[in-house]
Chain A
Amino acid sequence: MKRHKHIIYSRPRALTRKPMHYCEGCGHSLVHKLLAEVMDELHIRNKTIGVAPVGCAVFAYFYLKCDISEAPHGRTPAVATGIKRALPDHIVFSYQGDGDLAAIGMAETVHTANRGENITVIFINNTVYGMTGGQMAPTTLVGQQTPTCPTGRKTGTMGGPIRVCEILNTLDNPFYIERVALDSVQGILRTKKALLTAFKAQMDGKGYSFVEILSPCPTFFHLSSRDSLQFVKNELSKHFPVRVFRKEGVKIND
């Protein structure tokens, strides 16, 4: 007698069994899982090469079952460029936080997009430097308090939060740019869809794809996991509008 098992939900094959080191309510673990699901669904795990940044996600190689290289802080897209040029038929993604991508690595971010490298950049925007203690990031909101802006970010001396999708959208070469938010079940599903679109674009050789994910960091928002989601929904999304900026190489939003 053969019993038919109908599996509705299980751990993605591209995810290891190692317990994640991320804090409770952190967006990274969720994005790792979505990334693993996308690799499974597109059957690309064994030809995918990831580039892990300096930041909380530096240990991504403990959790994702694909080849991964570390990169010096901010140089993640340059390393990804080197890998993709060497292995053009492989899938290459960089996984970066706001400090890595929009502060120290802004030059690499802009120029990699401008060259239209056929890679996927996953940008986790949680407005703080999570690994080093929640310091001010280029995306920290005006008035948001961190150890390096203890009385709140002031635009006069510290500048305002940088909108990266909007900057990249001014370039000619990017193929796909979308901002999503991990603020609800719908947000999570939309994030996965965005990742799928980005990786598919790369598989089809279409060029540069960029997914910005507004992500909760309860530890340095100093909020509960639930309130962090509300913060992402109400505060972050207000300054960083959630939308598709460019689809099929065509600008559809500014």
Chain B
Amino acid sequence: MKKQKKRNKAHSAEGAGRPGGTAPKRHAKASGERMLMMGNEAVAEGAIRAGCRFYFGYPITPQNELTAYMAKHMPEHGRVFIQAESELAAINMVLGAATTGARAMTSSSSPGISLKQEGISYLAGTQLPAVIVNVQRGGPGLGSIDPSQGDYFQATKGGGHGDYHTIVLAPMSVQEMHSFTVEAFRLADKYRIPTLILADGRLGQMMEPITLHNGPPPPMPVKRWALTGAKGRRPNCIRSLLVKEGELESHNYKLQKCYRKIEQREARHEEMHADKCDLLVAAWGTCARIAKGAILAARARGLKVGLYRPITLWPFPARRLAQIASKTKAVLVTEMNCGQMLEDVQIAVAGSTPVFFSGYPGGRVPGESDIFQAICKIAKKIKNMPKHQR
């Protein structure tokens, strides 16, 4: 019992916001203060306030401000910044730091995130908490440096090899870039799961006034599994190679059990006029924000349009979407890609109502007018259609 207590203490000393075991240093900017910040920097500041002790990065546009912010501010807090030799090295440095129970993060943009997928699969397999930020750009290949939502499949369906998921949070403002980062660290530690922030170049580059995270970092759970030296206990081992008969199978069931729990508890979404609308627009991230404006304009014209915006892309908030969608005449999915969340919406709606799509691939950001026109077109089609046509 005594030993146990001692161990807990050792781990809490490892805890968030205590670089090098000293008292937490206050950031120069007071907590709760309103600040004009760029999205990339808001993520970085969120991570620092969430007690991230290790950041490992590699340059790629459009997320370079995040890496530069960390390079400047992490050492000020007595924390570690390394510019790694590649995205592969960066994610594996995160893995190394995470094995010791410390909060660690990396960030990149689409091509770099592809490189990190191997490491993310290992993080998932070994149940290591970590935060990975993807400030998406156009693809495939080097694509462009323009904002895109082309990595939805990669982020929500695992991304790397094997049967796994990561939690995916999709911000749509600089404020959410900041606060979702803090939340990502909480979720990662709570469920021992790599957690992704899926932003895009527009969110990364734009500036908005935000309220900084005010308060302590998310609680640090006791991590008995962490590698801290086998002192007074049996050696710990972080591994994903499970070759004994049935070993990997039962490990996979264990992971799935955790995923079901997350699906039940953590699916989040935002609704706007979603009840009693004829046309439900489903959109996420930047596209949801633009859709909001278009929906308000359509409603001003008397069209009954609402918004369903998944905040967690995995777990996908399907249950509520199914409920609402079945009461509408149609659903319009709009994304900055060729139809990726579309598939999750179709699965959730399960044929209860027609699903239309309007996409903007290749780094094009739609204007409010684009989505407004798409809404009007479908509104015309469904005008005389009765509800519940099943």
Are B88 and A79 neighbours in the complex by a CB distance under 8 Å?
Answer: no
A131 and B215 alpha carbons, distance in the complex (Å): 51
Verify if B126 is at the interface (C-beta below 8 Å from A): yes
A12 and B230 alpha carbons, distance in the complex (Å): 16
B18 to chain A, nearest CB (A): 13
Instruction: Give the residues in chain A near B238, CB-CB below 8 Å.
Output: 68-70
Are B84 and A78 neighbours in the complex by a CB distance under 8 Å?
Answer: yes
Verify if A200 is at the interface (C-beta below 8 Å from B): no
Instruction: Give the residues in chain B near A84, CB-CB below 8 Å.
Output: 96
A83 and B88 alpha carbons, distance in the complex (Å): 16
Are B100 and A72 neighbours in the complex by a CB distance under 8 Å?
Answer: no
Within 8 Å by CB of B229, from A48, A72, A80, A111, lies A48
Of the candidate stretches A58-66, A135-143, A190-198, the one touching chain B is A58-66
Are A82 and B99 neighbours in the complex by a CB distance under 8 Å?
Answer: yes
Q: A69-B96, A82-B99 are in contact. Are A90 and B239 (CB under 8 A)?
A: no
Are A78 and B92 neighbours in the complex by a CB distance under 8 Å?
Answer: yes
Are A85 and B228 neighbours in the complex by a CB distance under 8 Å?
Answer: no
Are B229 and A67 neighbours in the complex by a CB distance under 8 Å?
Answer: yes
Verify if B284 is at the interface (C-beta below 8 Å from A): no
Q: A79-B96, A82-B92, A85-B97 are in contact. Are A69 and B235 (CB under 8 A)?
A: no
Instruction: Give the residues in chain B near A47, CB-CB below 8 Å.
Output: 229, 231
B81 to chain A, nearest CB (A): 10
Are B102 and A86 neighbours in the complex by a CB distance under 8 Å?
Answer: yes
Instruction: Give the residues in chain A near B98, CB-CB below 8 Å.
Output: 82
Instruction: Give the residues in chain B near A110, CB-CB below 8 Å.
Output: 85
On chain A, which size bracket covers the interface? 35 or more
Instruction: Give the residues in chain A near B231, CB-CB below 8 Å.
Output: 46-47
B379 to chain A, nearest CB (A): 51
Verify if A71 is at the interface (C-beta below 8 Å from B): yes
Instruction: Give the residues in chain B near A69, CB-CB below 8 Å.
Output: 95-96, 99, 126, 227, 237-239
Instruction: Give the residues in chain A near B1, CB-CB below 8 Å.
Output: none
* Nearest-CB residue, chain A, relative to B237: A61
Instruction: Give the residues in chain A near B241, CB-CB below 8 Å.
Output: 58, 70
**Digit string of B78-121 for contact with A (CB within 8 Å is 1, else 0)?**
00101011101110111111111010100000000000001100
Verify if A188 is at the interface (C-beta below 8 Å from B): no
B51-94, CB < 8 A from A: 53-54, 56, 80, 82, 84-86, 88-90, 92-94
* Nearest-CB residue, chain B, relative to A65: B235
Verify if B240 is at the interface (C-beta below 8 Å from A): yes
Instruction: Give the residues in chain A near B53, CB-CB below 8 Å.
Output: 86
On chain B, which size bracket covers the interface? 35 or more
Are A86 and B85 neighbours in the complex by a CB distance under 8 Å?
Answer: no
Number of A-B contacts (CB under 8 A): 133
A187 and B238 alpha carbons, distance in the complex (Å): 33
Within 8 Å by CB of B95, from A49, A82, A85, A108, lies A82
A71 and B230 alpha carbons, distance in the complex (Å): 19
Instruction: Give the residues in chain B near A26, CB-CB below 8 Å.
Output: none
Are A86 and B54 neighbours in the complex by a CB distance under 8 Å?
Answer: yes
Verify if A75 is at the interface (C-beta below 8 Å from B): yes
B21-46, CB < 8 A from A: none
A45 and B228 alpha carbons, distance in the complex (Å): 11
Instruction: Give the residues in chain A near B250, CB-CB below 8 Å.
Output: none
A70 and B56 alpha carbons, distance in the complex (Å): 19
Are A78 and B235 neighbours in the complex by a CB distance under 8 Å?
Answer: no
Verify if B259 is at the interface (C-beta below 8 Å from A): no
Verify if A107 is at the interface (C-beta below 8 Å from B): yes
Instruction: Give the residues in chain A near B93, CB-CB below 8 Å.
Output: 78-79, 81-82, 85
Are A61 and B99 neighbours in the complex by a CB distance under 8 Å?
Answer: no
B239 to chain A, nearest CB (A): 4
Are A61 and B239 neighbours in the complex by a CB distance under 8 Å?
Answer: yes
Q: A68-B237, A111-B85 are in contact. Are A86 and B100 (CB under 8 A)?
A: yes
Instruction: Give the residues in chain B near A115, CB-CB below 8 Å.
Output: 82
Verify if A42 is at the interface (C-beta below 8 Å from B): no
Q: Residue among A45, A48, A78 with the most chain B CB within 10 A? A: A78
Q: A67-B237, A70-B241 are in contact. Are A86 and B89 (CB under 8 A)?
A: no
Q: 5 closest Cβ contacts across the A-B interface?
A: A82-B96, A78-B92, A75-B92, A111-B85, A79-B96
Known: A67-B229, A78-B96, A107-B88. 6 other contacts (CB 8 A): A46-B231, A46-B232, A68-B238, A69-B238, A78-B93, A108-B89
Which of A's residues lie within 8 Å of B, judged by CB? Answer: 45-49, 51-52, 58, 61, 64-72, 75, 78-87, 90, 107-108, 110-111, 115
Q: List 8 A-B contacts (CB under 8 A).
A: A68-B227, A68-B235, A69-B237, A80-B96, A82-B92, A82-B94, A90-B228, A108-B89
